[in-house]
Structure 1
Amino acid sequence: MRHKLLLLICVFQLVFGTGFFPGQYYETPVNRELQDTKLAKSFNFLVIGDWGRNGEFHQKSVSNQMNIASKTLGANMIISVGDNFYPNGVQSTQDPQWKQSFEDVYPQYDLNKPWYSAMGNHDYYGDLQAQIDYSKISRRWNVPALYFTQYFQLEEKSGQAAFIFIDTNPFVSKYRKYDGMMGENVKKQDTQKQLAWLKSELEKAKKIAKWVFVVGHHPLYTGGVRKTAEETEEIRKIFEPVFQNYGIDAYFCGHEHDLQVINPKGKVLQFLSGAGSAIRKSGETDGTHFAASDGGFMSFSLTEKTLRLNVINGEGKILFSRDYNK
């Protein structure tokens, strides 16, 4: 009887191509390709943005591929670059959006990893404190403040990586003119206090971390629909000199609903992952390494000297890969 059961399991695996035994990988093209690119003893993480739409558009297909990538790479965490809940954030820790746009869309076992998030402009239409307080309810949601720093030990025990999460929304001047919760929330923020904090955190991180990354919502550069927008120019003028002065390794952001990798010569390396649900037209700008109007996310494998990127769409196709070395 036991032999017959094992035979049935083997037949099931051959027919359906899914893992049935602990530790077995899903037999999919993206799995095999990602497994081949995984760095030995790397710290692995996923980056997604602009996703909270009750599972609509590309959100569920992207979620499924994130789960496969997380399992394949052994992801240590997931980063969200903001706009977690459309169109108006959440109103409390009991808001139905938590279930409809987060818990029910990312329920898979391998997405049950720590999620760290910046705030997006759509989050500012809701109760920001609710997104902080949900950290006390959820075992995986980690937002201790509107801006904060997390340090992680590299898997090879060769040093730390610092991830500094900033809140870019108060630095967009037009938001201060908005009525309702958006305007009220923005006016409560002290931008000079945050900038002083950021510089202090960068100073400390450069002394103790092998890698220093910053995570925010708005991009410094984009070839997308906001290429010439006033808000893009504002964010670039404020943060680009700070990032360059402290020599950060990369900036992760979203806001544009597409996937872009941009590194203007002599300036900041930027990964824009804003295609977690709805998408918009993309395009190129100075320093564009990659740009695509496609639902998807990014995976990263980090060692002492290498940051390996894979851009993955909702069908599980790796659209772009590159190593960035120290």
Structure 2
Amino acid sequence: MLRQFLLLLLATTFGCLAQRDGANSTNSSRHRMLPADRAGMFQFPQWEVRVMCAKGPGVDPNYNAETCRKSAFDKLDKMTFFIIGDMGGSSMWQPMNPYTTHAQRSVAAAMKILAKEEQPQFIVNLVREVKDGRFEWTFENVYDKPFLDVPWYPILGNHDRHGSVQAQIDYTQRSGSSRWTLPAESENRPWYKVRYEFGSTSKNKKNTVVEFLMIDTILKCGETEDIKSDSYLAWIFHESNKNPKEPMPGKDKFAQEQDQWLSQSIQQSNANYLFVAGHYPIYSIGKHGFYNNCLAEMDELMRNNKVTAYLSGHDHNLQHLQLTKPDGNTFDYIISGAGAATDRSQEHWDEFNKTAAEMKGKAKVLLHFPSTHWWIKFAGEELLSWTTGGFIQAQVTPDKMVLNFYSGQGSVCLDQTPLVGGLLGKLPFVNQNCKSLYGTTILCPRDKPKCREEAAAQDKTGWFSGPWWCMKLC
């Protein structure tokens, strides 16, 4: 209840905290450029060029033929991209200018450092809360870094419906935005496809295809109670709300259209790596838990057609889960929702294991960030966003995909250190040009499901987990 009291106090103090007038921008347009030696490889200044790599129901097929193949990509031996979610500035976390959080800025700083070392070709954005008239502050200014000036492919999250969804779609065509790329037909048909090919003229002489099917799980499963009632009190007490299970009112037709499109796209795909991306998780050990009832048919569709993994956000942490059914069919669930805050909840960990046991299968938590420690079991951590957040770097080769799970800038770089990283990372004598690699996992191509060795599961952490000398606040 302490958490709810603090939230209610903030809402009362700052009054009406959000303008719900769409994703508009008042700042003058500007064209961000990469260094000359990389500009031809990664810069997509015109929206017509950016959507070459994506296809939605309303996009002219002459723009793309559903593929993105710049000559530079053909020469790549490896393709790199980032996965970030729940990254918009929240009016509850940060009700005043600059409308961002410490965690969001920390993640952006770490992404910049990592991108300078190894340039991503694009960013998968499991977005939530890039909304209001603050688009310039919560997106453009936060990620205004030369090496992040690549296409960002977003999906819609539950909080995005606080504002204008159509404004986010229209923003793709804004002349001053060289990144935001949401090539959907309309608010009712927000799904689309992203497809990249690389490596045909590389030393491996092997063309590799990576494909993403970007869907709207809110359209399919419905809104959470805090959004449905449009009430800050509902948001404050949202922990008691049940996860929605039915399509949004009046949207059944469009939800069915999306299901048909997804099924057809999965079955027709020839991609080496095929992902489905939606905001709600099917399984999660975090606070929000499961959406497996609403997404059960989609789960089976992905399993039966060897989809590489399901990407989602919603819970404010990083997770890599595996669920193996009795027939040996193993599927991976990736959650990246720590773009603006981190939640250490593990309240559905036991339920995940129980679900697997009931189906006589096997559940594995390959990675969960951040962990839980006794001194941070208080209300203010996520509310005030004192942590440094996190994101995922994906490195794709013909033989495997490596997922690197990073915390934001400010964590002490000496990995297992007897220091409190979230606090000492801000001091001037600590190296600020750092980001911490928390863990690494592997995904396999669809035609090589056995590319990885049996991965060890992560232990559930508790109040006194780990040696006392290596605990840190990440």
Same fold, TM-score > 0.5, yes or no: yes
Equivalent position of 1:256 in the other structure: 315
Describe how 1:66-145 pairs up with structure 2 within 5 A: 66-85=111-130, 89-90=131-132, 95=133, 97-137=134-174, 138-145=177-184
CA distance in 2, matches of 1:121, 1:250: 21
CA distance in 2, matches of 1:151, 1:173: 28
Residue 221 of structure 1 contacts residue 236 of structure 1 at CA under 8 Å; is this kept in 2?
no
If each structure's strand is expressed as a fraction of its own residues, which one has the higher value? 1
- 1:180 is displaced (CA, Å) by 5.7
Deviations 1:164-217 (A, max 9, x none): 101100222465992469x9x933532111100101111221xx3211111111
Residue 124 of structure 1 contacts residue 186 of structure 1 at CA under 8 Å; is this kept in 2?
no
Letter in 2 for 1:113: V
> Which one of the candidate residues 308, 311, 321 is aligned to 2:405?
311
Equivalent position of 2:265 in the other structure: 201
CA distance in 1, matches of 2:211, 2:173: 23
Deviations 1:219-277 (A, max 9, x none): 111110122x5xx2334423211111221001111000011111112342111000001
Q: Secondary structure at the match of 1:312?
A: strand
Equivalent position of 2:194 in the other structure: 150
Equivalent position of 1:218 in the other structure: 280
CA distance in 2, matches of 1:75, 1:129: 28
TM-score by structure 2 length? 0.55
> Which one of the candidate residues 364, 375, 382 is aligned to 1:287?
364
Identify unmatched segments of 5+ residues in structure 1. 1-20, 24-39
Letter in 1 for 2:112: N
CA distance in 1, matches of 2:369, 2:181: 29
CA distance in 1, matches of 2:250, 2:439: 40
Deviations 1:120-165 (A, max 9, x none): 0000221111110000012211001111001101244513111110
Residue 70 of structure 1 contacts residue 110 of structure 1 at CA under 8 Å; is this kept in 2?
yes
Bigger relative contact order (CA 8 A; separation at least 6): 1
Equivalent position of 1:238 in the other structure: 297
- Percent identity over paired residues: 27
TM-score by structure 1 length? 0.78
Equivalent position of 2:187 in the other structure: none
**Distance change in 2, residues 1:71/1:247 (3 Å):** same
Letter in 2 for 1:221: Y
CA distance in 2, matches of 1:72, 1:188: 47
Letter in 2 for 1:253: S
CA distance in 2, matches of 1:173, 1:142: 24
CA distance in 1, matches of 2:102, 2:298: 32
Equivalent position of 1:51 in the other structure: 87
Residue 80 of structure 1 contacts residue 117 of structure 1 at CA under 8 Å; is this kept in 2?
yes
Identify unmatched segments of 5+ residues in structure 2. 1-34, 38-75, 90-98, 185-189, 232-243, 353-362, 371-386, 410-434, 449-474
Runs of 4+ in structure 1 over 6 Å off: none
Q: Does 1:320 align with 2:445?
A: no
CA distance in 2, matches of 1:153, 1:254: 25
